Structure 1
Amino acid sequence: MTAPTEEKAAAKAPAAPTPRHRRIWSAVFADLSAWVETHGDVPKRRSKDAEEYRLANWLNVQRSNHRSGKLHQDYIDQLETVPGALETRPTRTHREWAEAVADFHRTHGRLPGTGADDKAERSLGHYLADRLRPGIRSGAIKDEDFAPIAAIAGTVAPARERKSSETYFRELKEYTAANGRMPGWQDARPLARWVRRVMTADSETTYVKYRDEVTALAAGMNSGDA
């Protein structure tokens, strides 16, 4: 008779891969192995290279399946032959991330950016954009977790300059007077975006009351009256 613990372990063991799945998996694994042999490191998901991005996403799925016990032992054995394939970095708590961002702000007088050349700064920038703000909105990150950076402008929510439509319309008149034309997307994107909102807004929005004035201003530009 099979012991209960053995039955439980057998029930949790991943099912044997189908021949088709094994063929597909082995083909991608071969690509991964070649990549690591050529580049000396595992692929990164933030890469702009399409092939590296594909392999990094695939590897991330394998790691996730491995952590959850869903990866078949045959696959584990193969991945363990590739240096770093199943290794993941130690996970920081949200509090530790927040403290790292606060340290960066104290040192540099600004927030970290997602487009920075420095890898550590990019990592902090992506934490702010991709994890902190969505986590706060969903309630997954608690107040005490981001307390070290709560008072820093732009951390909890991106710092944005909010203008009234009255201000935009005044700037539009100044722009047309100075340039003799309506603003374009290349040189005056915020103004051009506001004009589009005015011209396409529903009748219940506050943009509508500026439509006649903007239309008249645009007509003056077209006729050469400005």
Structure 2
Amino acid sequence: PQVLELERWVVAHGGALPKQSAARRSSPDAAAEGRLARFLLRQQQALRAGALPAERRRRLLMVPGMQERFAQWQSTAPAQSDFECWVNALKDWALGHGRLPKYGEGDATERRLAEWLNHQRAHVDDASDEGRRKLALLECAAIPGFPKLLKGWLKKRVDFDDRVAELAEWVYARGGRLPRIRAGDDAERGLDGFVRKQQTLSFRGQLSAQRRARLA
């Protein structure tokens, strides 16, 4: 949905892509531009981390101006953006500190590695050969703390699939009606919360194509 919003915005503005500087202006259009500029920044970060899903990349490249923007991102990407270099850097850091880097904590190096590692969770949901290859590289690297982290990622994936199945069964039993937040039933409120969370992730561009397909 956010890629579609981006595409519509670009077309409406004569092919110009949104800019981060829009945040300094005060208007409804500036707010939308700032939000879309932040969305693009997250896609750039995912690309550098080797965690931009192929389907999202394909869809982004259909937006006017994005082929040139991708070329710019790739030409300015640091050498360390190579996936195996990131894996090695993560392993060296984890061996030196006896733990994995924590998101949003520590010095610039720890924060950068933690952000990259956070992006790799997308490979758990990625059914592509490339996604499986990257996850296998991480698994084989003997990074301290990673097996436990991966176990948590896999459990959350199972929880997601179970929740989707529960939602599908609930909706089917009620003739296609989605759960409501003001329902008196705890189970219905819980399912509504699950749906709203997926909506939020989708709006932020953080819902993988595989999960979106499961929810469709």
Q: What TM-score bracket applies, with the shorter chain setting the length?
A: 0.3 to 0.5
Higher-Rg structure is 1
If each structure's helix is expressed as a fraction of its own residues, which one has the higher value?
2
Using CA pairs below 8 Å that are at least 6 residues apart, which structure has the higher relative contact order?
2
TM-score (ref. length: structure 2): 0.37
